[in-house]
Amino acid sequence: MSVISPPTGRLEAGPATRRRTPVLAVAARTGRRLGASGTVAAALLAVLVLVAAFAPVIAPFDPTAPDLANALTGPGATHWLGTDALGRDTLSRLIVGSRITLVGPILVIAVSTAAGTALALLAAYAGGRVDMVVSRVLDVLFAVPGIVFALVTVAIAGPGLPGVVIGLSIAYTPYVARVVRSAALRERALPYIDAAWVTGRSGLSICLRHLLPNLAPMIMAQAVSALGLAVVDIAAISFLGLGVQPPATDWGLMVKSGIDTALRGYPTEALAAAVLIAAFVAAITVVSDRLTEQAGELR
Amino acid sequence: MNPWLKFVSKRLAGLVVVFFAASFLVFSLLYLAPGSPISFLLGNRSGTPEQIAAIRAQYHLDDPFLTRYAAWLGGILHGDLGQSIVYRQDVAALIGARIPTTAALVGYASVIILIVGVAIGLLAALRPGWVDATLRGGMTVALSTPPFVVGVLLILVFALSLGWFPVFGAGRGFADTVWHLTLPALALAGGGAAFLGRITRAATRGELARDHVETARARGLGESRVITRHVVRNALIPVVTVAGLTVASLVAGAVVVESVFAVDGLGSLLVRAILQRDFVVVQALVLLLVVTFIVINTIVDVIYLLVDPRIKA
Amino acid sequence: MNDHLVDVKGLCIDAPVGRLVDDVSFHIDSGEALGVVGESGSGKSLTARALIALTADGLRVSGSVRVAGHDVPGLRGRALRQFRGRSVGMIFQDPRAHINPVRSIGDFLVEPLVLERRQRPDAARRRVLAILDEVGVSDGARRLRQYPHELSGGLLQRVMIASVLAAEPALILADEPTTALDVTSQADVMAILTEQRRERGLALLFITHDLELAAATCDRTAVMYAGRLVETADSTGLQERPGHPYTSGLMVSRPSIDLRATRLPVVPGRPVAAFEAGPGCAFAPRCPHAQTACERERPEARESGGTMVACHRAAELAGSLPTTIEEVSVHG
């Protein structure tokens, strides 16, 4: 008598799939998570970081050395992207300018994310009066748009990157804090936090060992998305002449100086710097969208 | 008490509190700023002690902090914003002359954001496939390009290469103003329109999948009526909020865009004032921007209440 | 033959993952009520939606579905809208999700009358007020101004019933209309639906997982399992003499008020979807009476005296299948 056989055991993962090197495996996993557009964007960001790291080695010319004999030339064999009014090589200036373009926003995000997360955890965990005071202070900070806040600190500290970074760091903190606080409140209501509490853990230990790790993907996604805003804001302030001061440069400042050369018939500098900023921010946006989707699925 | 009255009075009270907190913040921050305006007024000359004393007295530089804050705040409430050290003019007059330009720019950009943002968001949501993919790509690009970059690109293409629009300035009279402000408004609106488009798309998609839409179809309503009366009507609720916040953020964005196009509005005045360390002007302008920002936000809250019957005042 | 109000023959619904509804045939006459009983995932809701062409875009519907003289799968555009608006009305499971939350009750009720039937707004309003009164919604004028979140679930479901009655259809599809309601309003809503249907002589397709409720409110009852109809019979006949082991299993696993059972008998195993079923009878793996033939060959639907049963052993088992826990206990 034949009986329908039960379903055979699941296909087991063959050993071959495990033999990849760890680096490749991690890359493959990240690639799957990010999808096609996300992978391209992440690769773009990686290239940018490498360029910034090795900028002095890569740059074909000294970005600050004037060469008046070759001032204002279009793209050519020697100067691939031409030169500016002082004869400085545009490509080299873009390469070296990538450093400040990258470091400024990362500083802002690091500071505001750390401060915002700390404030949020404090408010969410302590609750009551502490939460109320923190929330009110954040409300007032919310009333000042980020770039306006940065302009105020620049007015105080004088034009330059430090004033911009300080101002934006403060201005971004309430945004981080508000998002993290509401997520932390939701997380805190989950039973496992009560369980940890009952087993006699201290408040600090619960925050650091339980709340923080579980909120990490969300905080990460939030930080990457804010990074895009920081790039835009810092570049804009540099463009206004209130950020990075010459002879140092970043892409925002190069768009500004590029307008003058464009008016004299050589738009390469302005165009290249503008396109680079847009591509940089677009790559961040795409990666942040994927991360946000991921963080949403995790919850 | 009437719930509406209660809501509005509560919001107004909150507004007043934030106004005082923000004004104190702005004033004290700039009070701390190093470098006095005296050096600017004297230029390269080293003034006599009498001259310096006269200036200090004229600008009340020797009064204690709180006295100066109170005087400043009192002046503001009477419409006196102080004297610009650089322009030697009433700050109120300096600002007043530039409000129409900035208001026109922000208003123009708002109209573009509302029309274009909602239109592309709906189109993307209702036409899945290549239309949606193309629009989404376009929105990501527009969202990623800072206004000043868009501005520079617009100048390069439409003003310098094609010559369709003027490069700089704000224009006179209605038609001329619109012509002059078109490129600046487009630059200012780009990111906001893309953002609103994304929100509209997501909200519409979400609403399309809701059960009550199935009911409307089951009752024999035509597809266009289902879309307009049920899908779009409901999706507009989150869209209204985001649209309001986007418009509020234009107040800050105008600072940058005005400088790109050399439009003589509040934004370029602020940037010049910072560079010239004209703190009286900076204080007044920052306060004005903050107040405008929170007033628009409050209006958005009230509108939200009007469009969503589920929220009780 | 063809004068049934609803005549479904060989209805199949396929999703990308596989078949969901498999070769379903039944009919409903004018004024008649048919209950369709099944577990979640048995395909009963999909079958009801096929009658009004509301199946999701990714699903493929085949077979013949005729309702009030219309070939439903072939309806398009204006004809489809008129069919939905006038011939059939559908009552959904969760009125709170199925009524637009940001439009007033009045808007909801009057909308199709004014927009699709071109009635004058005040006439439509008067008509809707009268119907609200008939379905037991008091203070109709005030209700029309209210929003869905201001009404209880039971009231909202009455509003939904009123909206269907206002369209004066020949057939009502009710998809578990009481499942989402609290126990006290379930009976009220069911009573109103039955009363109004009888008064107006409307046909009803009543989808439920409650065999007893279906039998109590409908003339005939059909039982679905894994996307197939396993039994269709007179409600009283079905309750007295279930013809299919699954039907009997459903009846036995119901708690009884007269007997203290230490443990309710359950149908062993889990329900499957049509595409998960083997080549034989879909219920065979869970059936206490299954034999080799049941697992190999699909049983044909055999009809005798208005009763349809799809079971290889129907003739042997006839009359011996238990209907209550007591009988199970007695049998061992």
Nearest CB partner across the interface for B309, out of C89, C94, C147: C147
Nearest CB partner across the interface for B18, out of A143, A155, A240: A143
Q: What is the mean pLDDT of residues B63-89?
A: 80
Q: Give the DSSP H or E segment for A216.
A: helix A212-239
Q: What is the mean pLDDT of residues C56-77?
A: 88
Cβ contact, residue pair C84, B219, below 8 Å: yes
Q: Which pLDDT score is estimated for C2?
A: 55
Burial of A238 (0-12, 13-18, 19+ CB in 10 A): buried
Q: Which residues of A touch C292 (CB under 8 A)?
A: 1-2
Q: Is C99 on the interface with B (CB under 8 A)?
A: yes
Q: What is the DSSP letter of C74?
A: G
Mutation choice for A interface testing from B27, B32, B140, B149 by most A CBs within 10 A: B149
Size of interface A-C (CB pairs under 8 A): 5
C280: nearest CA in chain A?
Answer: A4
Q: What is the mean pLDDT of residues A213-225?
A: 82
Output b/e per residue, C238-258; b: 16+ Cβ within 10 A: bbebbbbbbbbbbbbeeeeee
Q: Is B60 on the interface with C (CB under 8 A)?
A: no
Q: Which pLDDT score is estimated for B53?
A: 75
A6: nearest CA in chain C?
Answer: C285
Identify whether the C-beta of residue C114 lies closer than 8 Å to the C-beta of residue C79.
no
Q: What is the mean pLDDT of residues B165-174?
A: 72
More confident: A210 or C222: C222
CA distance C262 to chain B (A): 41
Q: Which residues of B touch A259 (CB under 8 A)?
A: 152, 155
Residue A79 predicted with pLDDT over 80 = no
pLDDT digits (tens, 9 = 90+) for C237-285: 888 888 888 888 888 877 666 666 666 667 777 777 888 887 888 888 8
Q: Which residues of B touch C79 (CB under 8 A)?
A: none
The residues in B 222-281 lying below 8 A from A, measured between CB atoms, are 248-249, 251-253, 255-256, 259-260, 270-271, 273-275, 277, 279
Cβ contact, residue pair B212, C94, below 8 Å: no
Q: Which residues of A touch B143 (CB under 8 A)?
A: 285
Residue A157 predicted with pLDDT over 90 = no
Residue A144 predicted with pLDDT over 50 = yes
C51: nearest CA in chain B?
Answer: B218
Mutation choice for B interface testing from C75, C78, C100, C149 by most B CBs within 10 A: C100
The CA-based diameter of chain C, rounded to the nearest angstrom, is 67
Q: Which pLDDT score is estimated for C3?
A: 80
Task: Average the pLDDT over each of A186-200, A275-289, B33-47, C38-52 and give the range with the smallest value.
Answer: B33-47
Cβ contact, residue pair B153, A274, below 8 Å: yes
Dihedral class, residue C151 (left if φ above 0, else alpha if ψ from -120 to 50, else beta): beta
Cβ contact, residue pair A4, C295, below 8 Å: yes
Cβ contact, residue pair C54, B218, below 8 Å: yes
CA distance C290 to chain A (A): 12
Cβ contacts of residue A100 below 8 Å, gap of 6+?
Answer: A161, A244, A248, A249, A250
Residue A113 predicted with pLDDT over 90 = yes
For the stretch A245-249, contacts whose Cβ atoms lie closer than 8 Å and that sit 24 or more positions apart, written own/partner, are: A245/A159, A245/A160, A247/A64, A248/A100, A249/A63, A249/A93, A249/A96, A249/A97, A249/A100
C167: nearest CA in chain B?
Answer: B219
Residue B1 predicted with pLDDT over 80 = no
Closest CA to B73 of B19, B125, B124, B122: B19
Cβ contact, residue pair B220, C116, below 8 Å: yes
Q: Which pLDDT score is estimated for A258?
A: 81
Q: Residue B264 and residue B168: Cα distance in Å, rounded?
A: 10
Q: Which residues of C touch B231 (CB under 8 A)?
A: none
Q: Which pLDDT score is estimated for A10?
A: 37
B145: nearest CA in chain A?
Answer: A278
Residue A214 predicted with pLDDT over 70 = yes
Nearest CB partner across the interface for A235, out of B146, B251, B275: B146
N-to-C CA span, chain B: 11
A148: nearest CA in chain B?
Answer: B252
Global pTM exceeds 0.90? no
Contact residues of C toward A, CB < 8 A: 278, 292, 295
ipTM of the prediction greater than 0.90, yes or no? no
Contact residues of A toward C, CB < 8 A: 1-4
CA distance C321 to chain A (A): 25
Averaged pLDDT score across all residues of chain B: 82
Cβ contact, residue pair B211, C92, below 8 Å: yes
Q: Residue C296 and residue A45: Cα distance in Å, rounded?
A: 60
Mutation choice for B interface testing from A144, A170, A276 by most B CBs within 10 A: A144
Q: Which residues of C touch A2 (CB under 8 A)?
A: 292
Question: Is the peptide bond between A247 and the residue preceding it cis, with omega within 30 degrees of 0?
Answer: yes
pLDDT digits (tens, 9 = 90+) for C126-173: 999 999 998 888 888 889 989 998 888 889 999 999 999 988 898 999
Burial of A196 (0-12, 13-18, 19+ CB in 10 A): middle
Q: Assign B115 a pLDDT band (cuts: 50, 70, 90).
A: very high
Q: Which pLDDT score is estimated for A2?
A: 39
Q: Which residues of C touch B220 (CB under 8 A)?
A: 80-86, 112, 116, 167
pLDDT digits (tens, 9 = 90+) for A1-27: 333 433 333 333 334 444 455 666 666
Q: Assign B197 a pLDDT band (cuts: 50, 70, 90).
A: very high
Query: According to the per-residue pLDDT averaged within each range, which of B29-33, C155-159, C182-186, C243-247 is highest?
Result: C155-159
Distance between alpha carbon B240 and the CA centroid of its chain, in Å? 16
pLDDT digits (tens, 9 = 90+) for B143-155: 888 888 888 888 8
Task: Average the pLDDT over each of A18-22, A241-245, C210-214, C259-263 and give the range with the smallest value.
Answer: A18-22
Record the tokens describing residue C80, joined without a space. 């489809």
Residue B241 predicted with pLDDT over 90 = no
Q: Which pLDDT score is estimated for C206?
A: 92
DSSP notation for C95-130: HHHHS-TTS-HHHHHHHHHHHTS---HHHHHHHHHH
Q: Give the DSSP H or E segment for B265.
A: none
pLDDT digits (tens, 9 = 90+) for C4-50: 898 998 899 998 888 888 888 898 998 899 999 988 878 888 999 99
Q: List all chains that touch chain B, counting a touch as 3 or more CB pairs closer than 8 Å.
A: A, C
Identify whether the C-beta of residue B267 lies closer than 8 Å to the C-beta of residue B258.
yes
The residues in A 229-258 lying below 8 A from B, measured between CB atoms, are 232, 235-236, 239-242, 252, 255, 258
Record the tokens describing residue A18, joined without a space. 């495990």
Q: Assign A297 a pLDDT band (cuts: 50, 70, 90).
A: low
Closest CA to A151 of C186, B119, B254: B254
A3: nearest CA in chain C?
Answer: C292
Averaged pLDDT score across all residues of chain A: 78
Q: Which pLDDT score is estimated for A229?
A: 87
CA distance A116 to chain C (A): 36
| Percent of chain C residues past pLDDT 70, beyond the cut | 94
Q: What is the mean pLDDT of residues B171-185?
A: 80
Averaged pLDDT score across all residues of chain C: 85
